[in-house]
């Protein structure tokens, strides 16, 4: 990557299943506008995906599909670096070093996502799932990242990256830049369609999410069946009307209409009318999105990943080199 005066952003998505509108509205959509202002690096974090079981053939397919989703969303490989995590071994090397020289068991024991994902299986899940936030810290710290744009659920992980960077710096001298998290107010936590008190998630049942690859008809069906709240009003009130507030957020972010305007538009109308119009908005979005998504060839995507890794690797290796020097494990 050519050196520039711009600040750097880094973010990533796991190729671990169906990418949904929560991933899009909470993260990817926001990256598009940041590309011009920042040196931007977007990673397909395949080593994060294997913290839980993946089917080998599906994983290969999903890696290419995430890149297509980035590009269909408007990430431009001419402006931004897009690469695959496993193509740059510095990520896992730095993760190991941070495991030893910065991260404590007590840090990882605080991670709420691990508690959610492991559930009752805490003792049987992979060590990788437990250590996942340290690998994420390595991703971020290798590129002297200033800003990490993510959804709300990743806030605690970025805070851990800050803690590990500070701890390493204070022990071995300044090596890492301390990154900031960026979370947008709207869309940072899109809730499940079938359960308005849990975030929309890839690992949930298909009724929970609208996939970016769902047909407009399938999406409409899910919206029709989506849970609603008691009362008839179409009103944004997260506390008392979490389901309708979530649908209003999705509607507003996809149509560009303010929530206040939508509330006015549906005054005196019922959930049925509202859901029909929301289905149309979502359907139009999906149709346009999928047209772009289907226009990319696998070989084109492989080339983009190769070029991306070539640009990112020297930066990662430079940081890793400095880290190893401080530890006394370089050039001895
Ligand atoms: P899972 O849902 O299975 O836990 P995930 O979707 O959180 O997986 P990623 O694919 O790595 O995992 O997430 C990519 C980005 O999407 C992250 O920045 C994350 O914060 C964001 N994101 C995920 N779910 C939501 C959601 N429901 N609302 C808003 N942003 C989300
Ligand atoms: N853990 C993140 C994905 C991720 C990431 C990163 C995001 C891995 N490495 C570095 C930002 C920066 C998630 O969204 N589940």
Same fold, 8-182+297-327 and 206-292: no
Has residue 184 got a pLDDT over 80?
A: yes
Superfamily (CATH) of domain 206-292:
Tyrosyl-Transfer RNA Synthetase (1.10.240.10)
Residue-wise pLDDT for 225-261, tens only, equals 999 999 999 999 999 999 999 999 999 999 999 999 9
Q: Cα(100) to centroid of ligand 2, in Å? A: 21
Query: Could you say which ligand is closest to the alpha carbon of residue 65?
Result: 1
Transcribe 133-182 into DSSP letters.
HHHHHHHHHHTT-SEEE--GGGHHHHHHHHHHHHHHHHHH-S-S---EEE
* pLDDT > 90: percent of the chain: 94
Q: Which of 68, 117, 222, 275 is catalytic?
A: 117
When pLDDT is averaged across residues 155-172 and rounded to a whole number, the result is: 98
Query: Could you say which ligand is closest to the alpha carbon of residue 15?
Result: 1
Q: Give kind and range of the element (H or E) at residue 260.
A: helix 259-265
**Ligand 2, from 9, 139, 189: best to mutate by most atoms within 8 Å of Cβ?**
139
pLDDT of residue 3: 74
What is the spatial distance between Cα 31 and Cα 66, in angstroms, rounded to a whole number?
14
pLDDT of residue 142: 98
Residue-wise pLDDT for 270-279, tens only, equals 999 999 999 9
Q: Is the CB of 323 under 6 A from ligand 2?
A: no
When pLDDT is averaged across residues 114-118 and rounded to a whole number, the result is: 93
Greater model confidence, 231 or 101:
101
Residue-wise pLDDT for 119-157, tens only, equals 888 889 999 999 999 999 999 999 999 999 999 999 999
Q: Name which residue sits closest to atom 16 of ligand 1, judged by CA.
A: 23
Has residue 294 got a pLDDT over 90?
A: yes
Report, at the CATH architecture level, how domain 8-182+297-327 is classified. Answer: 3-Layer(aba) Sandwich (3.40)
Among candidates 309, 231, 261, which has minimal Cα distance to 67? Answer: 309
What pTM was computed for the model?
0.96
Mark whether 6 is an active-site residue. Answer: no
pLDDT of residue 4: 85
Res. 332 pLDDT band, cuts 50 70 90:
low
Q: Is the CB of 150 under 6 A from ligand 2?
A: yes
When pLDDT is averaged across residues 105-114 and rounded to a whole number, the result is: 97
Q: Which of 29, 155, 177, 202 is catalytic?
A: 202
Q: Which atom of ligand 1 is nearest to the CA of 192?
A: 27
* pLDDT > 70: percent of the chain: 99
pLDDT of residue 172: 97
Q: Cα(150) to centroid of ligand 1, in Å? A: 8
pLDDT of residue 187: 95
Cβ-Cβ contacts under 8 Å for 70 (sequence gap 6 or more): 13, 28, 42, 82
Has residue 331 got a pLDDT over 80?
A: no
What is the spatial distance between Cα 256 and Cα 148, in angstroms, rounded to a whole number?
24
Mark whether 117 is an active-site residue. Answer: yes
Has residue 56 got a pLDDT over 70?
A: yes
Q: Which atom of ligand 2 is nearest to the CA of 145?
A: 12
| Domain segments of the chain as ranges | 8-182+297-327, 206-292
When pLDDT is averaged across residues 3-22 and rounded to a whole number, the result is: 94
CB atoms within 10 A of CB 256: 8
Res. 1 pLDDT band, cuts 50 70 90:
confident
Query: Could you say which ligand is closest to the alpha carbon of residue 42?
Result: 2
Has residue 7 got a pLDDT over 80?
A: yes
pLDDT of residue 84: 98
Give me the chain's average pLDDT, please. Answer: 96
């Amino acid at each position: 990557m050519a050196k520039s005066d711009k600040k750097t952003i880094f973010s990533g998505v796991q190729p671990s299943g169906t990418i949904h509108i929560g991933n899009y509205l909470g993260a990817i959509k926001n990256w598009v506008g940041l590309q011009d202002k920042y040196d931007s690096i977007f990673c397909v974090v395949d080593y994060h995906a294997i913290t839980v079981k993946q089917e080998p053939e599906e994983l290969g397919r999903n890696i290419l599909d995430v890149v297509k989703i980035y590009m269909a969303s408007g990430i431009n490989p001419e402006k931004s670096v897009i690469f695959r995590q496993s193509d740059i071994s510095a990520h896992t090397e730095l993760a190991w070093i941070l495991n030893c020289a910065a991260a404590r068991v007590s840090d990882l024991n605080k991670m709420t996502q691990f508690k959610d994902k492991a559930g009752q299986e805490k003792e049987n899940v992979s060590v990788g799932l437990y250590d996942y936030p340290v690998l994420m810290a390595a991703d971020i710290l290798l590129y002297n990242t200033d800003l990490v744009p993510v959804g709300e659920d990743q806030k605690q992980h970025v805070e851990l990256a800050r803690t590990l960077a500070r701890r390493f710096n204070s022990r071995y001298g300044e090596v890492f830049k301390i990154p900031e998290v960026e979370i947008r107010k709207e869309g940072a936590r899109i809730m499940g369609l079938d359960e308005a008190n849990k975030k929309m998630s890839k690992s949930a049942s298909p009724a929970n999410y609208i996939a970016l690859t769902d047909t407009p008809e399938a999406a409409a069906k899910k919206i029709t069946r989506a849970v609603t709240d008691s009362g008839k009003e179409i009103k944004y009130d997260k506390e008392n009307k979490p389901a309708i507030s979530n649908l209003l957020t999705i509607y507003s972010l996809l149509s560009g209409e303010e929530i206040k305007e939508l509330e006015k538009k549906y005054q005196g109308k019922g959930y049925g009318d509202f859901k029909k119009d929301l289905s149309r908005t979502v359907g139009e979005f999906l149709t346009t999105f999928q047209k772009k998504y289907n226009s990319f060839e696998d070989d084109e995507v492989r080339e983009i990943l190769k070029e991306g890794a070539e640009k990112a690797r020297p930066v990662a290796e430079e940081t890793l080199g400095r880290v190893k020097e401080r530890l006394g494990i370089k050039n001895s």
